Amino acid sequence: MGRYKSNSIHCKYTDAMKTSFSHKITIVLLSLILLSSCQDLFNESNIKSNPNAVTDVDVATLLSGTLLGVSMLHEDTDVRISAIWAGELNGLSRQHQTIASYIVSASTFGWSPLYPVASQARLIQTKADAVGDKWTKGVGQVLEALVIAKATDLYGDIPYSQAFDDVKYPTPVFDKQADVYTALQTVLDNAIQNLSAPAGLAFADQDFIYKGSVAKWKAAAYTLKARLYLHTGDYAKAVTNASSGIGSTAGDALTPHGTSQGVDDNQNYDFFRINRAGDTGFDGAYLPVLMQSRIKSANTKTDETALYNHYFKVGISTTGALDPNTADGMFTEDAPHPILTYYENQLILAEAQARLGVTDKALAALNSVRAGLSGGYINGKTMSTTGRKYDAYTLSDFDPAGIANPTKLATTQTALLYEIIAQRYIFFLMQYEAFNDVRRLEKASPKVQLSIPLYAGTQKPQRYIYPQNEINTNPNVPKPLPDQFTKIPIFQ
């Protein structure tokens, strides 16, 4: 009552009433209560504007917020489902147990925050244009490509050419996956061009990935281009781009994490240790089996014990369970999480060169990763020295009787490829690129695959189902709805 102003009062009806008032008390009462100019009542800052939110921010602040979204998209449920479907992780209870049986429906999946984050990346570019800045625009383009690449890799044909313009295209069409890949290469070309500008806005404080280093963003753009060329089988272009890509582990794009739950903790830690402890794990998964086969094996140049212990730990969720190592390994609360890395860049180079038949360069690239692992570095952390051995291979190790040819493949090229894809599989734990590989290698030539068993049934999951929300809102969703066992176009 205290904030009520006694000055206002009196609206239309008072004229009609006035004549009949014969008592002074009436007038006193009315002047206390009636209102003189009603519209003025709405002239309050808490009405004219939203007191709880801002209505605009500058491009650097938006960049920082968008980076966080991109980071989350690399540690989210979609990534964990991809790890399960790649056979790296197993679902053991509740929802994830059924996901591991490949029981999913349209409502299992969602495009938020995926597309909203991509739209923030697009908004960065609009805001950068408004202030004439090339650098933030370039970063915005790299982020957009990262997110859209994830979308198309998991869903195939997706909306892109008409996306992010709700007024003009309220229900965007679905573009062919091949067109999306072409468009992404163009976006990344533009990003590289923008990032090559001689000057731009400083954003070191907001860039928690690269601290404002334009050179690192440029290298990351090349690595991403190389990844996309590898997917489409353009091995020569993959080599060219990877050669300009991330050149050392110092160029790794890693999301930093802290120890505050729900604020900055590693999201895999949060999932494995807090939110869904024991619901997933590595019992029954192929990854630990593969890694065990590289411990005390005929391959005397390799010992995966340290990495195995870095990834897994027994008995965290319950007695005897092979759990993610949330105690002192890859999934601690403050462990950084990879987005794009030097190791990936080198493994793209290795695989593309091997497929082109340039085995010596392929081997050199693979050995550069082994040199890094041998030093203990992985995704911003250092693994134990115990049982850590990654001596450089020579081509003769891949002879039919070579030490690094466990499946006795006939040619050096295929044996080397097997080692490269195994290394990729091991390295990409909790990156969706592992699931991309599993599907891509069914098609890539020469055909070399890991023998990953299925968790259930006879059909291998090939894609995510278009989300129920999309089916509800966009009539352009492909019909009939492709199920989880239908291959996406680039891997067909």
Partner 1 sequence: MVITKSGGDPGAGAYIQIRGQNTINGNAQPLFIVDGIPVSNSNINDGSAAGNAIVQQSRINDINPEDIESMEVLKGASAAALWGTRAANGVIVITTKKGKDSKGKVNISFKSAVSFDKVNKMPPLQTTYGQGNNGRFIQGNKYSYGDLIADRTGGPDTYITDPTASGYQGYVTFPDGTKRYAIASGTAANPHGGKNSKDIYDHASDVFQTGHYTDNALNISGGNARSNFAISYSNLSQDGIIKAFSNYQRNTARVNVGSQFTEWFRASANVAYTKVGSSRVQQGDNLDGILLGGTRTPPDFNNQYYTGTYTNESGQVFNDAHVSYRNPLGIDQNTIYSNPVWNINNNRNTSDVDRITGNVELNITPKSWLSITGRTGIDNYTDARLERFARNSASFLTGLLSKNWITEKQFNTDVFANANKTFSNNFSGSVLVGVNYNSRRYASLSDQITSLIVPTAPDILTNALNSNLTAKNYNQLIRTYAYYAQAEVQAYNMLFLTLTGRSESASTFGSKTNSSFFFPSAALAWQFTKLKGLESSSILSFGKLRLTWGQVGIQPQPYQNFTTFAPASFGDSYANGVSAASSLYGGGYVRSTTAGNDYLSPERKTESEVGVDLRFLNNRFTFSGTYYNNNTKDVILSLPVPYETGYAVRNINAAELSNKGLELDASADIFPQSAFKWNLSANFSLNRNKVLSLAGATAYTLPDSYAGQSLIQGQPFGIFYGTDFLKDESGKYKLDANGFPQGGTSNEVVGNPNPKWRGGLGSTFSYKGVSLYLLFDKVYGNDFYNGTRGALYLIGTHGDVGNTSVAPTGGIKDYNGNTIAAGTKFQGNIQDFGAGPVALTQAWYQGPGTSFSSASTKQFVEDGGSTRLREVTLNYSLRSPGFRKFTHLSSVDFALTGRNVVLWTKYTGTDPEVSITGPSLSRGQDWFTNPNTKSLLFSIKINY
- Closer CB to partner 1, residue 20 or residue 451? 20
- Closer CB to partner 1, residue 167 or residue 401? 167
Are 372 and 282 a contacting pair, CB within 8 Å? no
Residues 6+ apart with CB under 8 A from 269: 257, 326, 331, 332, 333, 335
Residues found in the chain: 492
Residue 401 beta carbon to partner 1: minimum distance, rounded to whole angstroms: 40
Cβ–Cβ contacts within 10 Å for residue 246, how many?
A: 26
In 161-266, which residue ranges form alpha helices assigned H by DSSP?
Answer: 177-195, 214-232, 235-243
CA dist., res. 39 & res. 88, Å (int): 64
H or E stretch covering 344 = helix 342-356
Are 351 and 421 a contacting pair, CB within 8 Å? yes
**Rounded (10°) angle between helices 235-243 and 342-356:** 140
CA dist., res. 370 & res. 391, Å (int): 7
- Closer CB to partner 1, residue 142 or residue 417? 142
Q: What is the DSSP letter of 264?
A: T
- Closer CB to partner 1, residue 196 or residue 275? 275
CA dist., res. 282 & res. 455, Å (int): 12
- Closer CB to partner 1, residue 5 or residue 296? 5
H or E stretch covering 382 = strand 381-382
- Closer CB to partner 1, residue 351 or residue 470? 470
CA dist., res. 443 & res. 462, Å (int): 13
Residues 6+ apart with CB under 8 A from 473: 171
Residue 137 beta carbon to partner 1: minimum distance, rounded to whole angstroms: 17
Residue 68 beta carbon to partner 1: minimum distance, rounded to whole angstroms: 5
- Closer CB to partner 1, residue 16 or residue 401? 16
Residue 150 beta carbon to partner 1: minimum distance, rounded to whole angstroms: 13
Residue 168 beta carbon to partner 1: minimum distance, rounded to whole angstroms: 10
Structure tokens at 367: 């050995």
CA dist., res. 43 & res. 45, Å (int): 7
- Closer CB to partner 1, residue 198 or residue 480? 480
Residue 281 beta carbon to partner 1: minimum distance, rounded to whole angstroms: 11
- Closer CB to partner 1, residue 203 or residue 286? 203
- Closer CB to partner 1, residue 245 or residue 329? 329
Residue 13 beta carbon to partner 1: minimum distance, rounded to whole angstroms: 5
Residue 29 beta carbon to partner 1: minimum distance, rounded to whole angstroms: 5
Residue 110 beta carbon to partner 1: minimum distance, rounded to whole angstroms: 8
Are 30 and 9 a contacting pair, CB within 8 Å? yes
Residue 411 beta carbon to partner 1: minimum distance, rounded to whole angstroms: 39
Give how far Cα 84 sits from Cα of 211, 223, 320, Å.
33, 25, 20
In sequence order, the β-bridge partners of residue 302 are 390
Residue 113 beta carbon to partner 1: minimum distance, rounded to whole angstroms: 5
- Closer CB to partner 1, residue 60 or residue 239? 60
Please, is 267 exposed, middle or buried when counting C-beta atoms within 10 Å of its C-beta (0-12, 13-18, 19+)? buried
CA dist., res. 79 & res. 103, Å (int): 17
